[in-house]
Amino acid sequence: MKMIHLTDTELQQYLTEPKTLGPEKTAHVLSCDHCAAKIANYRLLFQGIATEQRPAFDFDLSVLILEQLPEPTRVFPWFAVITGCISALVVAFSITYFWSTLTALAKGMSGMILPMTAVVAALVLIIQSFELFRSYRQRMRTLLSEKTLQL
């Protein structure tokens, strides 16, 4: 019968989290001298890495990196301008094309429908503006609390 040994990943997993390996593989590790020797090697290796001191720089590395980064360039927002122009053209074309229908519709409405529609549109605009301002203040508060932006 050919014995299949555990892979290096499974041996490292047994060393770090033995309960996640499974009962068959755990039994194999306990009975196999070859796998036990590999685990002992990994244990020594992990202990050596843990006792190794982390490298420390005696200078500020961020200054050297920031000096090499190019200055950010402002790009004109062509996409937003083109999208806005296309949207304005679509609205202008729609109003021009449907003008006769819109005027007939406005003449056929009662006198209160148009002002009520304007009031509802204004309320929606005001509510959306307050929500946008609240979201902006919350984001600024988050930035300032994390001390990533100091004003």
Kindly report the three-state secondary structure assignment for every residue of the chain.
Answer: CCCCCCCHHHHHHHHHCHHHCCHHHHHHHHHCHHHHHHHHHHHHHHHHHHHCCCCCCCCCHHHHHHHHCCCCCCCCCHHHHHHHHHHHHHHHHHHHHCHHHHHHHHHHCCCCHHHHHHHHHHHHHHHHHHHHHHHHHHHHHHHHHCCCCCC
The answer to whether residues 35 and 29 touch, using CB atoms and an 8 Å cutoff, is yes
CB 34 within 8 A of CB 5: yes
Q: Contact 114/106 with Cβ under 8 angstroms?
A: yes
pLDDT at position 96, please? 95
Q: What is the pLDDT of residue 11?
A: 86
The answer to the question of residue 34 being in a domain is yes
For the question of whether the overall pTM of this predicted structure is more than 0.95, the answer is no
Q: Is residue 16 part of a domain?
A: yes
- Whether 115 is covered by a domain: the verdict is yes
Q: Which domain holds residue 41?
A: 8-51
**What are the angstrom distances between the C-alpha of 116 and each of 22, 36, 122, 124, 130?**
70, 82, 10, 12, 21
Residue 141 belongs to some domain of the structure: yes
Domains in the chain, number: 2
Q: Is residue 103 part of a domain?
A: no
- Judge whether 73 lies within some domain: no
Amino acid at 73: T
Q: How far apart are CA 81 and CA 77, in angstroms?
A: 6
- Whether residue 56 lies inside any domain: the answer is no
The reply to whether 18 falls in a domain is yes
The stretches in the chain having pLDDT less than 50 are 1, 149-151
Check residue 146 and give its pLDDT: 65
Q: What is the pLDDT of residue 123?
A: 98
pLDDT digits 0-9 by tens, 61-103: 778 888 888 888 888 999 999 999 999 999 999 999 999 888 8
